[in-house]
Amino acid sequence: MSDTTATTPLPELQQAQFDAAELERLLRDIGACAQITEIIPKYAATGHVPENAAVTLDDGRRLLLDGGARAVQFRYRFQDADWWDTVMALPGGQFRLVRIQHHFDSAS
């Protein structure tokens, strides 16, 4: 690599673990304060997510609470940034959140 080659740092990941009540609060906040761009369910450990899933915020909540999906990724815009919150269902009614903020170059 030459000295003129710039590397883009990876976005910082945030992680948390919480229960169903906190999941409800998280999704209520996203629905009230953000512009949802896409919701993507992950049904199995391996395999592809169907194209054109057309999942709503309420559908994603239900999939997680009822065990219909292994994980759901909520993509939204908040404060001029793109956020991807991946919520994974864990045993015992717990959930794990992995959040990443993206600053996509709108010119590209």
**For every one of its 108 residues, what pLDDT tens digit does the chain have, with 9 covering 90 and above?**
445 456 667 677 899 999 999 999 999 999 999 999 999 999 876 665 566 567 999 999 999 999 999 999 999 999 999 999 999 999 999 999 999 998 766 544
What does the alpha-carbon distance between residue 35 and residue 60 come to, in Å, rounded to a whole number? 15
Residue 37 pLDDT = 95
Q: What is the DSSP string of 3-52?
A: TT---PPPPPEEEEEEEHHHHHHHHHHHHHHSEEEEEEEE-SSSSPPPTT
Helices (H) and strands (E) in the chain, counts: 2, 5
CA distances from 24 to 42, 64, 68, 104, 106 (A): 19, 11, 16, 28, 32
Secondary element (H or E) of residue 28: helix 20-33
- To the question of pTM greater than 0.75 for the whole model, the response is yes
